[in-house]
Structure 1
Amino acid sequence: MENITMHFLFNLSLLVLLLFISFTVIRTMSSKSIFVFKRTGLLYCIVSLMLCFLFSYELGDEAVLDLRIVPFLIGSLYLRMSHILFIVIIVGRGLYGIDFGYYLGLVVYAILSPILWFISPWFLKLSSKYRILLMMGITLLISVGILILVFNDADSGHGHTWDLIFAYVIVPPLGVAMIAYIIEATEKNIQLQQQIIKAEKLEAVEQMGAAISHEIRNPLTTAIGFVELLSNNSLKDDKRVEYLSILKEELDSAERIIQDYLTFSKPIIESYEKLHIDTELTHIIKLLKPLANLHSVKIITNFSSSQFIEGDRSKFQQSFIHIIKNYIDCMPHGGTLLIETTDTKTSILISITNNVMLNGKQQPILNRGMAAAFNIIRDMKGTIDIRSQNGNDSVFRFSFKSIKH
C-alpha cells in the first residue's frame, strides 16, 4: 500500500476517533438542546477539515490531495452548514498557496455548497440506508472527477496511478459510509431509548390509574355523603358551613390527585433549571403514594438536603418514578421503602432502601425502564451505586453535583 493511500487511511482513522470523542462530549453536556448538537457537529466538521489539511499529500506543485470531501459532505447534508464549511475549506486551502489547485477547489466547492444546502432537507427525509448510499455515490462521483483532473496533469499523476485510484475510489466513499453509519446508529439508539421511556411511562400510567381510582373514590364517597346531609332543610347554619368546608377539602383532595396524575401523563419537554432535590422527591412520592398503598408498601422519608442541582425537571421526575415504582412492584406482599437525602460539600446523595417482608422477598429488577432511567441520571451527570445491605436489603445510591444558589 503506497504513500497516498496510507495518508488517507490514517487521516480517516483520526476522523472516526474524533467522531466518537464528539459523541462523548455531547453525552456529558448538561444541556440537550438541538442547538448544542448543531454546534458540536459543526465543530467536529471544522476540526476534521483542519485534520484533513494537516495530513494532506502534496502531489506536484499545485495538487494538494486530502479527505476534505468527507467532513464537508457530512456537515453539509446532516447539518446544512455547507456555506460555513465552504469558507473553512477555501481559507485552509489558501494556506498552501493561491495557485491553479486553489482556484479549482474554489469553483468546485462554490458549486457544491448551494446544491448540498438545497437538498439537505430532502436528504434528511430519506431512510437511513438511502442516506448512506447517496452520500457514498456523491463521494465516489466527486472522487472520480478529482482523479480525472489529476491524471490530466502528467507530472502529478505519473507513477501513482494505482495508488491514486485506490486512495480516491475506495477510501473517501468508505470513510463517508463509516461516519454516516455511526451517526445513523447513534440516532437510532437515541430514538430507541426514547421509545423505551415512553413505553415504560405508558405502563406506569396504566398501573397508577388503577391505584389512583381507589384514592379518588374515598374523597368522592365522603363528598357524596355530605351532599346528602346538606340537602336536609332542617340542618343548622353552623353545621351547613362546617359540612361545606369538609366537602370542599375532600373535593380539593380529589382534584390534587387527578392533577398530579395528569401532570405525570404529559409528554416530556426539555427545560433545564435549578432543582431542589427534596421538593422534587416529595412530589414524586406524593404521586406514587396511591400505588404504594395498593401494594401495602410504606414509604418513609428522611430528607435533609438544602442544596440544588441543575437538570430537566420532567426527566428527573420520570427517572425516579420508574426507580421507585420498580421497588414497589418488587414488593407484592408489602414492605417498607426508605428514601433519604444528604448533602456533602459538592454533591447531593439520594439513598433508596427496601425492607421487604421475608415471605415476599424480591430484589428490584433492572429492566429496560430502569436502564432508561439510569441513562437519564447519567445524562444529568449523576452517578449510580447499587449494592445489598446485610445480604437482604437492596440499596440504590445516587449522587448529583450541587450548584450554587
Structure 2
Amino acid sequence: MFSLIEQVSYHILIVLLPFIIYHLFIREEKQFREKINSKLMYVSLTILILTMSNPIQFSEGFLYDFRVAPILFLLLYGGVRPGITLIIFMFLFRFAIGGGGLYVTLINYTLVFLFFLLIKKRFQPYTLKSRFLAISILCGVSSINRAITLTKTGQLDQLSFMLIFSLLTWITLTILIFIIENLDKQIIYDKRIQSAERLNIVSQIAAAVAHEVRNPMTSIKGFLQLILQEKNLNESQNKYIEISLSELNRAEAVINDYLSLAKHTTTEDFIDLNISTELHSILDIMTSYTNTHNIAIESSIQEGIFTKGKKNEFKQAILNIMKNSVEAINKNGKLTVRAYQKNSNLYIEIKDNGIGMSQKQVEQLGTPYYSTKDKGTGIGLTVTYKIIRDMKGKISVQSKKEVGTVFIIELPSLYY
C-alpha cells in the first residue's frame, strides 16, 4: 500500500512541477499556446513521457499513469491542433513501449477527444467555471470507460483504486487550471500597467504640446488666412498658402488627438445607454461618409440593449473604429455592423473586407504611437480602447491579410 502511495505521489509531482516551472518562468500568451511548437506543448510532452515511462502496476497487465492530465490540459489551453498532436504522440509512445490494453487506450482517448469537441462548442468562450465543468466531464468519461473495461475483465478489486486514481487526476488538473488562470491574469495585469504608464507619459506630453505649440500655430494660421484675403497675390502664392493652411489643420488634428487622450475624465456622467439607438444614430452619420467611398453598410442591430456609459465618448469610440474600417476598405467594399445580447453581455461587431492585418499588427493595436496608416498617430484607437475599458468592456480583434478585420466589443448588459 505504501508503495502505491509513493508511486501516485511521484506521478502527481511530475505533472505539477513542470507546469509550476512553466507558470513561474515562462510567460507565454494565449495565442502562442495554440501553436504546435509552443512551449506549453513541449512541457506537456515532457510530462507525458515521464508519466508513461514509469506507470503504476496494480496487477499483471493493468497499468496506471497520469497521461490524461497533460492531454486534457493541452486540449483546454492549447486547442485542438496541439492536443491531437500530443494524443498521436501518446499512441506512438504507447505502441513503442508495448504491453496489453492498446485497444482500450485507443477507444478511451478517442471517446475523450470526441467529447472534448462536443463541449468545446458548448463552452466557448471558456470561463473558469466552464473549464472545471469540462475537466469533470472528460475525466468522468475516461473513468466510466475504465470501469466498464475492469468489469468486463472481472477485475472488480481494482475499481476502488481506479476511482481514487481518477479523483486524484481530477484534483491535479484542477490545481493546474488555477495555475494557468493565475498566469493569464498576471500577463493581463502587466499589460494594463505598461499601457497605463505609456498613457500617462503621452498625456503629459500632450498637455505640454498643447500649451507650447497650439498658441503659435493659431497665430500663424490666422495671419496666413489674412494674407490669403489679399487681392494682389498671384496663383502660386495662393496655392502655397492653401497648402500651408492644410498642413496646419492636419497638425492641429494630431494635437487634438493627443488632447483627447490627455483628458482622463469628462464632465459627462455615466447613464443608461441605449446601444441600439446610439448605433442607429452613428450609422446615419457614417452613411454619407461611406457613400463617397462607394462602400455599402449592412447592419443587424438587436433592439432594446442597454449598458452603462457616456453617450458622447461611446459615439467617439465607435466612430473611430468605423472610420478605420472604411479607410482599410478604401473603395467598393462592405462594412457590416452587428449588435446583440448574449447572456449577461452585449456584443458589437464591426467587420470590413479591407486589407486586413497580420497577427503582430493586431497585438499592437491600441498602443500610443502605433498606427497601420501612413498618416495616422494611433491615438484614435488608444482613446477608443480607454473608453471601452472605462465602460467595463473589452475589445478583441480578428484579422487576416487581404480578407478583412472584425472588431468585437464586449460590454456588460444593463438588463439581464
Where on the TM-score scale, by shorter chain, does this alignment land: which range? 0.5 to 0.7
Q: Is the alpha carbon distance of 1:5 and 1:138 closer, same or farther for their aligned partners in structure 2, counting shifts above 3 Å?
A: farther
- Deviations 1:338-367, CA, capped at 9 Å, x for gaps: xxxxxxxxxxxxxxxxxxxxxxxxxxxxxx
User: 1: distance between equivalents of 2:41 and 2:152?
Assistant: 35
User: 2: distance between equivalents of 1:23 and 1:247?
Assistant: 59
Aligned to 1:224: 222
Matched, 1:34 2:35: no
User: 1: distance between equivalents of 2:64 and 2:126?
Assistant: 31
Given that 2:108 and 2:142 are in contact with CA atoms closer than 8 Å, whether structure 1 keeps it comes out as no
Given that 1:222 and 1:250 are in contact with CA atoms closer than 8 Å, whether structure 2 keeps it comes out as no
User: 1: distance between equivalents of 2:255 and 2:80?
Assistant: 42
Given that 1:5 and 1:163 are in contact with CA atoms closer than 8 Å, whether structure 2 keeps it comes out as no
Aligned to 1:20: 20
Given that 2:112 and 2:138 are in contact with CA atoms closer than 8 Å, whether structure 1 keeps it comes out as no
Aligned residue identity for 1:91: L
Aligned to 1:114: 114
Identity value in percent:
17
Given that 1:219 and 1:250 are in contact with CA atoms closer than 8 Å, whether structure 2 keeps it comes out as no
Aligned to 1:47: 46
Given that 2:23 and 2:179 are in contact with CA atoms closer than 8 Å, whether structure 1 keeps it comes out as no
Aligned to 2:394: none
Matched, 1:8 2:3: no
Aligned-residue offset at 1:204: 5.4
Aligned residue identity for 1:115: F
Aligned residue identity for 2:52: F
- TM-score under structure 2 normalisation? 0.52
Aligned-residue offset at 1:117: 2.8
Task: From 247, 255, 268, give the equivalent of 1:252.
Answer: 247
Q: Is the alpha carbon distance of 1:134 and 1:119 closer, same or farther for their aligned partners in structure 2, counting shifts above 3 Å?
A: closer
Aligned to 2:176: 179
User: 2: distance between equivalents of 1:252 and 1:63?
Assistant: 79
Larger radius of gyration: 1
Given that 2:14 and 2:51 are in contact with CA atoms closer than 8 Å, whether structure 1 keeps it comes out as no
Matched ranges for 1:204-243 at <5 A: 208-214=205-211, 215-233=213-231, 235=232, 237=234, 241=237
User: 1: distance between equivalents of 2:39 and 2:105?
Assistant: 26
Given that 1:136 and 1:174 are in contact with CA atoms closer than 8 Å, whether structure 2 keeps it comes out as no
Paired residues in the alignment total 268
User: 2: distance between equivalents of 1:247 and 1:210?
Assistant: 28
Aligned-residue offset at 1:228: 0.6
- Deviations 1:109-129, CA, capped at 9 Å, x for gaps: 122223313432433424213
Q: Which moved more, 1:160-169 or 1:210-219?
A: 160-169
Aligned-residue offset at 1:106: 1.0
Aligned-residue offset at 1:44: 2.6
SS at match of 1:125: coil
User: 2: distance between equivalents of 1:313 and 1:96?
Assistant: 45
CA RMSD of aligned residues (A): 4.2
Q: Larger RCO: Structure 1 or Structure 2 (Cα < 8 Å, ≥ 6 residues apart)?
A: 1
- Structure 1 residues not aligned, in runs of 5+: 268-310, 322-405
- Structure 2 residues not aligned, in runs of 5+: 262-319, 322-359, 371-416
- Deviations 1:22-54, CA, capped at 9 Å, x for gaps: 346643x8xx69246532222332222112201
Aligned residue identity for 2:4: I
User: 2: distance between equivalents of 1:166 and 1:33?
Assistant: 32
SS at match of 1:67: coil
User: 1: distance between equivalents of 2:367 and 2:109?
Assistant: 47
Given that 2:143 and 2:163 are in contact with CA atoms closer than 8 Å, whether structure 1 keeps it comes out as no
Matched ranges for 1:90-105 at <5 A: 90-97=91-98, 99=100, 101-105=101-105
Matched ranges for 1:133-144 at <5 A: 133-143=133-143
Aligned residue identity for 1:193: D
User: 1: distance between equivalents of 2:255 and 2:50?
Assistant: 53
Aligned residue identity for 2:247: D
Aligned residue identity for 1:108: N
- Deviations 1:71-127, CA, capped at 9 Å, x for gaps: 12112233124432331222222234253x111111111222233134324334242
Given that 1:16 and 1:179 are in contact with CA atoms closer than 8 Å, whether structure 2 keeps it comes out as yes
Given that 1:77 and 1:123 are in contact with CA atoms closer than 8 Å, whether structure 2 keeps it comes out as no
User: 2: distance between equivalents of 1:197 and 1:232?
Assistant: 52
Given that 2:15 and 2:69 are in contact with CA atoms closer than 8 Å, whether structure 1 keeps it comes out as no
Given that 1:86 and 1:110 are in contact with CA atoms closer than 8 Å, whether structure 2 keeps it comes out as no
Q: Is the alpha carbon distance of 1:236 and 1:177 closer, same or farther for their aligned partners in structure 2, counting shifts above 3 Å?
A: closer
Q: Is the alpha carbon distance of 1:12 and 1:230 closer, same or farther for their aligned partners in structure 2, counting shifts above 3 Å?
A: same
User: 2: distance between equivalents of 1:9 and 1:125?
Assistant: 34
- TM-score under structure 1 normalisation? 0.53
Q: Is the alpha carbon distance of 1:314 and 1:223 closer, same or farther for their aligned partners in structure 2, counting shifts above 3 Å?
A: farther
